[in-house]
Structures are given as structure tokens and as C-alpha cells.
């Protein structure tokens, strides 16, 4: 017999991030996971694919801390909830395990009408939902829900822009390369985390305040340095070669023009001599 | 139209009657056995499924793949066969 998971939406301070079991089960962390694990064992063919480490939530926390995958027979049930840990390690461990999580209820528990509505909602054309077609529609709906959840969870645009900014700064200034190189691993860590990244970054910032304070300063310093170094280069243009790319190309131009100048001088003296 | 097999031509030439599921184009012994095990022992039962899926190609292909593990070619042959039969007799 397949078990029913009544999924309700939960939210943390940044908005809805996942779902947890309803009041049928306790929403407290350990009780929730214990119940889910028991249910998974009882389901027979259910397999626990992943389970996050749990920490006791603070009194003020709303979201339970659990991630669990249950594949029960033909229907795919996954329950995922955010992990409100004050430790970044707890967050990252939990989130890495949720990479392929699909947020959905047990589709086999839905009525034909509800399933039909969901199929229409996801734009899947369908016929009547009868015994022989039900499984097909459930699997199609499950895939559609997974794709939809992956799309909504990927905030890559945000990070792409950030990364673009970083590369922009590194291109313009050698000094900032070092700083951006330092920040890159941190950003890469954040980019690895799949869901609700905007939430996660806020939490990372909150938990590591010193870094958070430093970062904007670093950026402004970088910006300042960019302008400073550019002015520096203009004054240096006539003279010493620097490692900078723009000055190098300028120097090449000088090297090309110099022989031409010498050649023209030689021609002039030759002409003068002849004359 | 691209070349169709003799099996296809034979199937669409006449009403299917009580023909076994293996009479369908694209369905050989292995796939036929799998379909029979699932309860689709006659061609008309598969036709029924085809009609319930509203003769939609994608849905029918997915169903066939899920049910008996048909590959793309087999899916296409079976779909084409049933579609043409329906065009002629339904």
C-alpha cells in the first residue's frame, strides 16, 4: 500500500522554499524525519535516496529541516523542506542533496479530475484518464513538475551577472584579479547550491557577517582601483612599459613608428646631401 | 510516403478482427509478449489504447515505450500502422 504524504507549503523569511508534511505529522524536525523514514520503510518498495543532517531548529524558526526522497512503486514522491541552519555547512550539505528534488504530492492519490487539471496546467495534452492511461499521465506529470521545479530553482542569471561583473573587474585591473580570485571560490560554492539560491546567499551573508561587510568594500575598492589604475596608465604611456595590455599595444605602435621616423630622417639627410 | 513494411501493408489492408498484437507493424515476438503480459493480447486492445490516447502520436509513442520498451522505430511503425488503419476503417 502506498502511503500518502499531505504536502503543505511552508516558508521561511524569504518566502516559500519548499514543502513539508502537514499537521498529520509533527512539523518539528526530528519527528518529521523519523516519521518519513518509518513511512519509507513501511512502503516496501520505497527507497530513501537522501536525507539531510538535522539540527534542532531555533524557537523562532518555522521551516523544518528535512530532505528525503521516497520512490514508492510507480509514483514518485519527494518531500523537500528547507533547512534553517545557522551553520553554512548544514545549509550546503542539505542543499546539495536536493539537486534533483521534485516537489510534488503523490500523484497516484489524486483523483482523475485533479490529475486532468494538473495535466492541463502543465500544458500536457491528454485524453481520458482511465486505468491504462493513468500511469502514463502520472509519469509525464512527474517529469513536467521536475522540470518546472528545476527551472524555478535555478537562479543562474543572478550569478551569471555577478560572474560577469567579476570578470569585468579582473579584465581591467591586475590588482583586482587577486581579490576576485579570492572571492571566486566563495561564489562557486554558492553556485553549486541548486535551490533558492537567493535565500541561501542571504543566509550565508547573515552567518558570515564579516565577509559580507568586506565584500562590498572590496567591490568599491576594486572599482576605485580600476579608475585609479587607468589614470596611472595614461600618465605612464609615454614612458615605461608596464605589464598592462593596453600599454603593451601602445608600445608596439611606438616600435613600429620609430623605424619609420628613422627612415624619414635618413631620406631627408640623403636628399640634403645630394642637394 | 516512406517505405512501409509488408506487415504494415497487410495490416492496413483489412479490418483487424481478432488479429494478435504481433500482427501490428513494429511489434515482434518480444514486444508482443510483453504487451500480452500487460493484457494487450489482441491488436484491437492496442487500438483501444490508441484511441483513448486520442490518436496522439507523442502520447502513444510514450505509452508504447513505457509498456513494452519499444524503440523509436518500433514506436513509429506501430503508430503509423494504427493511424493508417483508422484512416481507412474508422
B66: closest CA of chain A, how far (Å): 8
B62: closest CA of chain A, how far (Å): 8
pLDDT category at A216 given cuts 50, 70, 90 is: very low
Query: Is the CB of A132 less than 8 angstroms away from the CB of B54?
Result: no
B53: closest CA of chain A, how far (Å): 5
pLDDT category at A237 given cuts 50, 70, 90 is: very low
At residue A265, does pLDDT exceed 50?
yes
What is the pLDDT, as a whole number, of residue A274? Answer: 82
Which residues is A149 bridged to in the sheet? none
Q: From chain A, pick out residues whose CB is under 8 angstroms from the CB of B46.
A: none
- Measured between its terminal Cα atoms, the distance across chain B in Å is 21
Count the alpha carbons within 13 Å of A21 in the hemisphere toward its beta carbon.
24
Least confident of A8-12, A119-123, A244-248: A8-12
A99: closest CA of chain B, how far (Å): 25
Q: Say if CB A124 and CB A220 are below 8 A apart.
A: no
Q: From chain A, pick out residues whose CB is under 8 angstroms from the CB of B56.
A: 125, 127
Kindly state the percentage of chain A with pLDDT values over 90: 12
- DSSP class of residue A66? -
C-alpha cell at A112: 482523475
ipTM above 0.85, yes or no: yes
**A67-72 and A75-80 as β-strands: parallel, antiparallel, unpaired?**
antiparallel
Query: Is the CB of B59 less than 8 angstroms away from the CB of A135?
Result: no
At residue A19, does pLDDT exceed 80?
no
CA of residue B50 relative to chain centroid, distance: 8
pLDDT digits (tens, 9 = 90+) for B6-61: 999 999 999 999 999 999 999 999 999 999 999 999 999 999 999 999 999 999 99
> If you average pLDDT over residues A74-89, what whole number do you get?
36
Q: Say if CB A54 and CB A84 are below 8 A apart.
A: no
Q: Say if CB A63 and CB A20 are below 8 A apart.
A: yes
Kindly state the percentage of chain A with pLDDT values over 70: 27
Q: Where are the alpha helices (DSSP H) in A83-208?
A: 88-97, 112-121, 131-153, 156-172, 174-192, 197-207
Alpha-carbon distance of B53 to B9, in angstroms, equals 23
Query: Is the CB of B52 less than 8 angstroms away from the CB of A133?
Result: yes
Interface test with A, best of B53, B55, B56, B68 (most A CBs within 10 A): B53
The pTM of the whole model exceeds 0.90: no
What is the pLDDT, as a whole number, of residue A168? Answer: 45
Q: Chain B residues within 8 A (CB-CB) of chain A? A: 49, 52-54, 56, 59, 62-63, 66
C-alpha cell at B63: 505509452
Instruction: Give B9's contacts (C-beta < 8 A, 6+ positions apart).
Output: none
Q: Which residue segments constitute the domains of chain B, with CATH numbers given?
A: 4-87 (1.10.150.40)
What is the pLDDT, as a whole number, of residue A106? Answer: 67
Q: From chain B, pick out residues whose CB is under 8 angstroms from the CB of A130.
A: 52
Amino acid at each position: 500500500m502506498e502511503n500518502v504524504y499531505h504536502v503543505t507549503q511552508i516558508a521561511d523569511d524569504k518566502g516559500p522554499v519548499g514543502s513539508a508534511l502537514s499537521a498529520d505529522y509533527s512539523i518539528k524536525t526530528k519527528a518529521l524525519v523519523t516519521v518519513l523514514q518509518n513511512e519509507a520503510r513501511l512502503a516496501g518498495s520505497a527507497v530513501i535516496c537522501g536525507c539531510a543532517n538535522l539540527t534542532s531548529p531555533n524557537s523562532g524558526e518555522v521551516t523544518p529541516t528535512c530532505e528525503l526522497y521516497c520512490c514508492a512503486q510507480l509514483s514518485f514522491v519527494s518531500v523537500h523542506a528547507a533547512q534553517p541552519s545557522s551553520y553554512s555547512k548544514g545549509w550546503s550539505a542539505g542543499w546539495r542533496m536536493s539537486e534533483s528534488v521534485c516537489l510534488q504530492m503523490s500523484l497516484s492519490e489524486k483523483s482523475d479530475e485533479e490529475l486532468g487539471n494538473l495535466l492541463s496546467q502543465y500544458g500536457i495534452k491528454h485524453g481520458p484518464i482511465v486505468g491504462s492511461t493513468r500511469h502514463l499521465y502520472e509519469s509525464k506529470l512527474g517529469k513536467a513538475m521536475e522540470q518546472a521545479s528545476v527551472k524555478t530553482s535555478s537562479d543562474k542569471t543572478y550569478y551569471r551577472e555577478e560572474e560577469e561583473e567579476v570578470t569585468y573587474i579582473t579584465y581591467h585591473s591586475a590588482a583586482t584579479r587577486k581579490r576576485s580570485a579570492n572571492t571566486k571560490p566563495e561564489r562557486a560554492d554558492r553556485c553549486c547550491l541548486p535551490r533558492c539560491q537567493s535565500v541561501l546567499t542571504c543566509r550565508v551573508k547573515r552567518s558570515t557577517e564579516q565577509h559580507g561587510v568586506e565584500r562590498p568594500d572590496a567591490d568599491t575598492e576594486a572599482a576605485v582601483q580600476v579608475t585609479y589604475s587607468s589614470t596611472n596608465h595614461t600618465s605612464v604611456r609615454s614612458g615605461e612599459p608596464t605589464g598592462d595590455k593596453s600599454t603593451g599595444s601602445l608600445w608596439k605602435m611606438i616600435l613600429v613608428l620609430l623605424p619609420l621616423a628613422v627612415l624619414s630622417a635618413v631620406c631627408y639627410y640623403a636628399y640634403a646631401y645630394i642637394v | 510516403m516512406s517505405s512501409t513494411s509488408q506487415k504494415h501493408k497487410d495490416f492496413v489492408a483489412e479490418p483487424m478482427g481478432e488479429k494478435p498484437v504481433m500482427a501490428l507493424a513494429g511489434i515482434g515476438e518480444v514486444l508482443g509478449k510483453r504487451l500480452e503480459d500487460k493484457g494487450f493480447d489482441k491488436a484491437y486492445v492496442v487500438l483501444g489504447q490508441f484511441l483513448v490516447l486520442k490518436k496522439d502520436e507523442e502520447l502513444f509513442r510514450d505509452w508504447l515505450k513505457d509498456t513494452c520498451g519499444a524503440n523509436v522505430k518500433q514506436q513509429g511503425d506501430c503508430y503509423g500502422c494504427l493511424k493508417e488503419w483508422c484512416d481507412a476503417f474508422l
